Amino acid sequence: MAEANGEVALRDPDDLVKDIERTRENLARTIDTLTERVSPANVAKRALSRVRDQASRPEVQIGAAAVLTVVTTLALVVWRRRRG
Protein backbone atom coordinates (compact mmCIF):
# COMPACT_ATOMS: atom_id res chain seq x y z
CA MET A 1 0.00 0.00 0.00
CA ALA A 2 1.35 3.44 -0.80
CA GLU A 3 2.09 5.86 2.01
CA ALA A 4 1.24 9.56 1.87
CA ASN A 5 4.80 10.36 0.85
CA GLY A 6 4.61 7.98 -2.13
CA GLU A 7 6.71 5.21 -0.63
CA VAL A 8 5.42 1.66 -0.54
CA ALA A 9 4.66 0.42 2.95
CA LEU A 10 6.04 -2.95 3.85
CA ARG A 11 3.41 -5.19 5.37
CA ASP A 12 3.61 -8.63 6.79
CA PRO A 13 2.22 -11.15 4.26
CA ASP A 14 0.31 -12.91 7.04
CA ASP A 15 -1.42 -9.63 7.91
CA LEU A 16 -2.34 -9.15 4.25
CA VAL A 17 -3.81 -12.66 4.10
CA LYS A 18 -5.81 -12.01 7.28
CA ASP A 19 -7.10 -8.70 5.86
CA ILE A 20 -8.12 -10.41 2.62
CA GLU A 21 -9.91 -13.21 4.51
CA ARG A 22 -11.71 -10.68 6.71
CA THR A 23 -12.76 -8.69 3.66
CA ARG A 24 -14.05 -11.84 1.97
CA GLU A 25 -16.06 -12.78 5.04
CA ASN A 26 -17.56 -9.30 5.25
CA LEU A 27 -18.39 -9.34 1.57
CA ALA A 28 -19.98 -12.80 1.86
CA ARG A 29 -22.16 -11.60 4.77
CA THR A 30 -23.18 -8.52 2.80
CA ILE A 31 -24.11 -10.61 -0.23
CA ASP A 32 -26.10 -13.04 1.96
CA THR A 33 -27.95 -10.12 3.55
CA LEU A 34 -28.78 -8.59 0.16
CA THR A 35 -29.87 -11.96 -1.22
CA GLU A 36 -32.17 -12.46 1.74
CA ARG A 37 -33.57 -8.94 1.40
CA VAL A 38 -34.46 -9.20 -2.30
CA SER A 39 -35.73 -12.78 -2.25
CA PRO A 40 -39.18 -12.77 -3.89
CA ALA A 41 -40.64 -14.86 -1.07
CA ASN A 42 -39.32 -12.46 1.56
CA VAL A 43 -40.49 -9.41 -0.37
CA ALA A 44 -43.97 -10.95 -0.57
CA LYS A 45 -43.95 -11.78 3.16
CA ARG A 46 -43.00 -8.20 4.05
CA ALA A 47 -45.69 -6.79 1.75
CA LEU A 48 -48.33 -9.11 3.23
CA SER A 49 -47.24 -8.13 6.71
CA ARG A 50 -47.61 -4.43 5.85
CA VAL A 51 -51.09 -5.05 4.43
CA ARG A 52 -52.10 -6.94 7.57
CA ASP A 53 -50.74 -4.17 9.77
CA GLN A 54 -52.69 -1.56 7.82
CA ALA A 55 -55.86 -3.67 7.77
CA SER A 56 -55.77 -4.04 11.55
CA ARG A 57 -56.02 -0.27 12.05
CA PRO A 58 -59.53 0.73 13.21
CA GLU A 59 -59.91 3.59 10.73
CA VAL A 60 -59.11 1.23 7.86
CA GLN A 61 -61.60 -1.35 9.13
CA ILE A 62 -64.34 1.27 9.37
CA GLY A 63 -63.54 2.52 5.87
CA ALA A 64 -63.53 -1.01 4.48
CA ALA A 65 -66.88 -1.75 6.12
CA ALA A 66 -68.35 1.44 4.61
CA VAL A 67 -67.05 0.57 1.15
CA LEU A 68 -68.39 -2.98 1.45
CA THR A 69 -71.80 -1.63 2.50
CA VAL A 70 -71.96 0.77 -0.46
CA VAL A 71 -70.85 -1.88 -2.96
CA THR A 72 -73.35 -4.40 -1.61
CA THR A 73 -76.15 -1.85 -1.72
CA LEU A 74 -75.33 -0.89 -5.31
CA ALA A 75 -75.14 -4.55 -6.33
CA LEU A 76 -78.59 -5.19 -4.84
CA VAL A 77 -80.07 -2.13 -6.58
CA VAL A 78 -78.64 -3.19 -9.93
CA TRP A 79 -79.78 -6.78 -9.42
CA ARG A 80 -83.36 -5.72 -8.52
CA ARG A 81 -83.64 -3.39 -11.52
CA ARG A 82 -82.55 -6.13 -13.87
CA ARG A 83 -85.07 -8.57 -12.43
CA GLY A 84 -87.97 -6.51 -12.93
Series of mean pLDDT values for 10-residue runs along the chain (84 residues): 65 91 97 95 94 85 88 93 84
Rounded to whole angstroms, the maximal C-alpha distance in the chain is 96
pLDDT at 28: 97
CA atoms of 70 and 62, how far apart (whole Å): 12
pLDDT at 2: 58
Residue at 63: amino acid letter: G
CA atoms of 56 and 50, how far apart (whole Å): 10
pLDDT at 30: 97
CB 8 within 8 A of CB 1: yes
CB 3 within 8 A of CB 9: yes
User: In DSSP terms, which residues pair with 2 in a beta bridge?
Assistant: 8
Q: Specify the DSSP element, H or E, that contains 77.
A: helix 58-83
